[in-house]
Amino acid sequence: MEYTTLGNTGLEVSRICLGCMSFGSSGWREWVLDEDEGRELIERAIDLGINFFDTANIYSLGESERVLGDVLAEYDRDWPVVATKVYNDMDPDNPNASGLSRKAIEQELANSLDRLGMDTVDLYQIHRWDDDTPIEETMRALDDAVRRNQVRYLGASSMWTHQFADALHTSDRLGLDRFVSMQNHYNLTYREEEREMLPFCAGKGIGVLPWSPLARGFLARPHREFLDTARGSFMDSDDHMSRRVATYRANGGLEINERVEELADEKGVTMGQLALAWVLHQDEVDAPIVGTTSVEHLEQAVEALDIRLSRSQLSYLEEPYEPVPVNGHA
């Protein structure tokens, strides 16, 4: 396993972050692993040297956090780096169970820590931007959580760059703890983050943790087979996530998929490994978040760290890309 520091912090994280959206309850999403299967994957990740785990309160409505916490309780707590998130609606009957108000942050953080079985979470991230709460209120509440030793580092996820800049400026202006990481939507078939967010993060020393580095599986198999999978069928349904697979297929995406298949065959690796290797070759990226329901695919993801791509191979994979609508901020 390779390790790196997260942005300008001294926090050492594995270059593969295990995304835990796939663990919790199949009652939440049919492709989610229940507890015993999730435990097997988390334990194998630890065996492989992965020390970075990303979850969220919304994943299986808290069950992902509980499963992760139960497994990690059996290991040295000082070793793993645990990240979770806040923002999404945890209770439709409670108007304060979502968003980034002080009340929502404080109660949802307490609930997350309880499910994780931890006194302190290493990285606490806002899952999206909250248009209804002043950023000053959000940043003060997050700073208080750091000062109470409930949180070690603060992070953010997909938003417009001007919003992220506003949050950082607010923290600096008020003398508050600031965000150290950005978890954003980024892969070979969705590169809109290269326009503003990635250069901004590089200039500010912000760690970058891409979600969906394999385009939700679109880059892990030939596009002609993708829609036959459970994830592909779900994404092509009448659901807001279906717009993402449409984005991946559009404006060069099908040709990129074919080039990934071609180059993977030449190098004797899987398509998923090659697509992940491309993300790992991007200078701004610290650790892509890899979600999986297969031990085999997890092991392959770790092996992708050893794949070397030349400048000409990187250019060949990138060349068909054309701009697509911004996706993932909602």
Q: Which of 297, 285, 307 is nearest to 221 (CA)?
A: 297
DSSP at 76? -
- The secondary structure element, H or E, covering residue 113 is helix 102-116
Specify whether the CB–CB gap between 277 and 301 falls below 8 A. no
Distance of alpha carbon 219 from alpha carbon 217, whole angstroms = 5
153 counts as catalytic:
no
Distance of alpha carbon 201 from alpha carbon 190, whole angstroms = 17
DSSP at 317? H
Specify whether the CB–CB gap between 81 and 122 falls below 8 A. yes
Burial of 10 (0-12, 13-18, 19+ CB in 10 A): exposed
Give backbone dihedrals phi and psi of 119, rounded to 5 degrees, phi first: -85, -30
Give backbone dihedrals phi and psi of 36, rounded to 5 degrees, phi first: -60, -40
Given 3, 59, 190, 248, the catalytic residue: 59
Q: Could you identify the residue written with the tokens 């209770």?
A: 91
Q: Which of 80, 79, 49, 61 is nearest to 23 (CA)?
A: 61
Distance of alpha carbon 57 from alpha carbon 109, whole angstroms = 9
Rg (alpha carbons) of the chain, rounded to whole number: 19
Distance of alpha carbon 145 from alpha carbon 104, whole angstroms = 12
Distance of CA 45 to the CA centre of its chain: 16
Residue numbers annotated as active site: 59
